[in-house]
Amino acid sequence: MPIVNRIAAMHADITAWRRDFHAHPELLYDVHRTAGTVAEKLKAFGCDEVVTGIGRTGVVGVIRGKRGGGDRVIGLRADMDALPIEEQTDLPYRSTTPGKMHACGHDGHTAMLLGAAQYLAETRNFAGTAVVIFQPAEEGGAGGKAMVEDGLMERFGIQEVYGMHNYPGMPAGTFGIRPGPMLAAADRLFIDIEGVGGHAAKPHAAVDTVLVGAQIVSQIQSVVARNVDPLDSAVVSICMFQAGHTDNVIPQTAHLRGTARSLTPEVRDLLEARLHEVVEGTARLYGARAKLTYSRDYPVTRNHPEQAAFAAGVAEQIAGKEGVDTSLVPVMGGEDFSFMLEARPGAFIFVGNGDSAGLHHPSYDFNDSIIPAGTSYWVRLVETAMPG
């Protein structure tokens, strides 16, 4: 079954919503304008319930199917927040807020789920309850965890939960999914190094924290190269190195920050243990002290097999069998939909964004041509799971 005709007719409206969100990006939990717009539209669509303030600034809409329908309750989730990036495009709807932009497509995710909510509220051609979830703070703020801890699943009786994200480089309007690990656990590394400051002309009288930090950056790569099974996946990246204030003083301290990614609990445990040993041991080798703080942030986004197979079948209704990759290679990016999948069975799917700039790039833009495919996926998922 191709794109839903009514949704094709709504394409221009959904695109306008998306571009409005794009022009007014908001970060983390500070998504008051976006959440307010979402709540107003859900009420205007005639949702049975619209609840704000779940997980601080999350919005939930409840849409009940035909009377006498089933007791099944399915959650559909979109994220609302943007990134602290200066947009580098000449789009007519480019960001109006300096230093903030929708560089990950959450504007498109929100707009597509709003379109699905409007359609479902109009037609109610299903027997059960659809719960549309608009989440703040996906970009590092664990808004998914906040909503779960605020009673999202219990309060609305959600039995299964589904998420979707656009995927640059995948043909526009196609889908990709897999059972099991879909995206990696994303952990944060904070390394604080203490040496002995001194004059740059007398390095022998100091313990150079720049040298120590450089050695740590190099040595920790041995953890992935020589401790992780080559058939497993892991990434360790140091992305920030701060030390010193001038060109003739060896700094007393240095600070490094980075990330560790993994797809299994065993590799995650290994990374944490070995990174502590390598960081602290390397510092001692040079006469310095180093403290690693390993912060476990987002867990692995792990699709439940039954729900992943179901989601793939729904996607095939939209894109055809040839337009759905059911063995997509896992992505080492992180996603806090993982907290919802730990709370309830469900699945996370990618929809192709075509030949666009990559996610988190200052010239990225969500591809509005995929709106009918993504919105139709949400609608068919509800109607297929809970036929009326």
Q: Which residue has the tokens 């058939």?
A: 231
Query: 339: closest CA among 137, 179, 194, 177?
Result: 137
Query: 172: closest CA among 97, 105, 272, 124?
Result: 105
- The Cβ-side half-sphere exposure at 141, using a 13 Å CA radius, reads 24
Is the pLDDT confidence value at 69 over 70? no
Query: 105: closest CA among 227, 21, 206?
Result: 21
Point out the least confidently predicted range of 65-69, 86-90, 147-151, 213-217.
Answer: 65-69
| Confidence at residue 190, expressed as pLDDT on a 0 to 100 scale | 98
pLDDT of 355-380, one tens digit each? 999 999 999 999 999 999 999 999 99
For the domain spanning 185-298, the CATH number is 3.30.70.360
Q: How many CB atoms lie within 10 A of CB 216?
A: 27
Residue pair 314/377 in contact (Cβ under 8 Å)? The answer is: yes
Q: Where are the domains of the chain?
A: 5-183+301-385, 185-298
DSSP letter for 355, please. S
Residue pair 130/74 in contact (Cβ under 8 Å)? The answer is: yes
Q: pLDDT-derived band of residue 67, with 50, 70 and 90 as boundaries?
A: low
Is the pLDDT confidence value at 226 over 90? yes
Structure tokens of 141? 């703020």
Residue pair 138/338 in contact (Cβ under 8 Å)? The answer is: no
In angstroms, the CA 158 to CA 133 distance is: 11
For the domain spanning 5-183+301-385, the CATH number is 3.40.630.10
| Confidence at residue 2, expressed as pLDDT on a 0 to 100 scale | 77
> Is 138 a residue of the active site?
yes
**What number is the average pLDDT over the span 115-138?**
97
Helix 106-123 vs helix 11-23: angle between axes, to the nearest 10 degrees?
140
**What number is the average pLDDT over the span 31-39?**
98
Residue pair 215/274 in contact (Cβ under 8 Å)? The answer is: no
Helix or strand run (H / E) with residue 311: helix 305-319
**What number is the average pLDDT over the span 242-246?**
97
* pLDDT > 70 fraction of the chain, expressed in percent and rounded: 99
pLDDT of 192-207, one tens digit each? 999 999 999 999 999 9
Query: What's the residue count for the chain?
Result: 388
Q: pLDDT-derived band of residue 68, with 50, 70 and 90 as boundaries?
A: low
Q: Which residue has the tokens 């980075």?
A: 258
Structure tokens of 215? 């050695």
In angstroms, the CA 294 to CA 296 distance is: 6
pTM of the predicted model as reported, rounded to 2 decimal places? 0.95
Is the pLDDT confidence value at 79 over 90? yes
Is the pLDDT confidence value at 222 over 70? yes
Cα distance between the two ends of the chain: 17
Buried residues in 336-347 as b, exposed as e (16+ CB within 10 A):
bbbbbbebbebb
Strand partners, 358: none
* DSSP per-residue letters across 9-27: HTHHHHHHHHHHHHHS--B
* pLDDT > 90 fraction of the chain, expressed in percent and rounded: 97
In angstroms, the CA 347 to CA 233 distance is: 21
Mean pLDDT of the chain: 97
> Is 81 a residue of the active site?
yes
Question: Which of 81, 187, 208, 335 does the annotation list as catalytic?
Answer: 81
pLDDT of 7-29, one tens digit each? 999 999 999 999 999 999 999 99
Question: Which of 26, 87, 138, 383 does the annotation list as catalytic?
Answer: 138
Residue pair 331/298 in contact (Cβ under 8 Å)? The answer is: no
In angstroms, the CA 142 to CA 138 distance is: 6
Helix 209-219 vs helix 265-285: angle between axes, to the nearest 10 degrees?
150
Give the distance, in angstroms, between the CA of residue 238 and the centroid of all CA atoms in the same chain: 20
Is the pLDDT confidence value at 66 over 90? no
Q: E strands of the chain, at which residues?
A: 49-54, 58-64, 73-79, 129-135, 160-168, 175-176, 180-183, 185-194, 198-199, 234-243, 249-250, 253-262, 289-298, 301-303, 324-325, 346-354
**What number is the average pLDDT over the span 42-51?**
98
Query: 278: closest CA among 339, 351, 332, 228?
Result: 228
Quickly count helices (H) and strands (E) in the chain: 12, 16
Give the amino acid at 153. M
Structure tokens of 33? 């304008």
pLDDT of 267-325, one tens digit each? 999 999 999 999 999 999 999 999 999 999 999 999 999 999 999 999 999 999 999 99
Q: pLDDT-derived band of residue 3, with 50, 70 and 90 as boundaries?
A: confident
